[in-house]
Amino acid sequence: MTQVFTSNDIDALDQRYRTNLINTLSGAKSANLVGTTGEHGDNLAIVNSVVHIGAHPPLMGMIMRPHSVRRDTLENIYATESYTLNQVALGWIDKAHQTSARYEQGVSEFDAVGLTAEYLAGHSSPFVAQSEVKIGLKLEDSVSIKANDTILIIGKVVLLQVSDNAVLADGSLDYTRLNTAAITGLDTYHALVQRDKLSYAKPDQTVESITV
C-alpha cells in the first residue's frame, strides 16, 4: 500500500509537517559546517545543501536563504570571498546541530558549541579543528534562484586537508574510515555503512563490485 499526495494535498498540509516532508524527500544529504570570519568575528553554521558542481575546475555549491533573520555567514562570504566547509563526524553531531541556534551577533558559534577554530596557512577563514575533512573555498559565483529568492553560492576548492589514509588509491575519500555523518531532513543524523563500490557502467556489460 502507498500514500499519495497531490499538489493540492501538499498545499493544504500544516506548514511544519510540509517542511519536514519536503525536506526529507531528497534522501541523504551531507552535513557540513561553514566557517567564516568578518567584522563581528568568526561564524560557524551547519548546512545540508552542499552539492557537487564540477571537478575541473573543482567547484562546490550550497543553497543559502538570504531572507532569514541571521545572515552573518552570507555577509562574511561576500565580504571576504572566503569560507570553509568542514565535514561533520558522528562523534559531535550534537555540537554541529547546536550551531543552528540563533545566537546574538558577535557570539562565535565555535565558542558557544565547543568546537575549535583552526587557521591553516594561506586561507583567511576558520576551519573546524575536529573535522577530518577540511575544505577551503574561494567565492566563485553567487546565483539568484528566483523561484523562492534563495541563492546558490559556488566556491572553488583552494585548500584541502584530510586525515592520513583517508584517500584511496583512485583519489576517492574512504568513507569506511571516515566517521562522516549524513543528514535527512533538518534534524536526523545517520552513519554511512558502505555496501558496494561499482564499476564504470557500459551498455554491453553488467556492473560489478570493485575494490581499489
Residues 152-171 that bind its own copies (CB under 8 A): 152, 154, 156-164, 166-168, 170-171
Strand partners, 55: 58
- The interface with its own copies within residues 114-133 (CB under 8 A) comprises 120, 122, 133
What's the closest the beta carbon of residue 39 comes to its own copies, in angstroms?
21
Q: Does 151 bind its own copies (CB under 8 A)?
A: no
**Residue with smaller CB distance to its own copies, 78 or 173:** 173
Q: Please give the C-alpha separations between residue 116 and each of 44, 109, 130, 211, in angstroms, as whole numbers.
A: 10, 10, 7, 35
Q: Does 94 bind its own copies (CB under 8 A)?
A: yes
Q: Does 145 bind its own copies (CB under 8 A)?
A: yes
**Residue with smaller CB distance to its own copies, 40 or 63:** 63
Query: Is residue 84 within a helix (H) or strand (E), and if so which, with residue range?
Result: strand 82-87
From the list 71, 78, 80, 112, which residue makes contact with its own copies (rule: CB under 8 A)? 112
CA gap 37, 82 in Å, rounded: 9
CA gap 72, 62 in Å, rounded: 16
From the list 40, 71, 177, 190, which residue makes contact with its own copies (rule: CB under 8 A)? 190
**Residue with smaller CB distance to its own copies, 50 or 74:** 50
CA gap 182, 174 in Å, rounded: 15
Strand partners, 142: 153
CA gap 31, 49 in Å, rounded: 8
- The interface with its own copies within residues 30-49 (CB under 8 A) comprises 30-32, 48-49
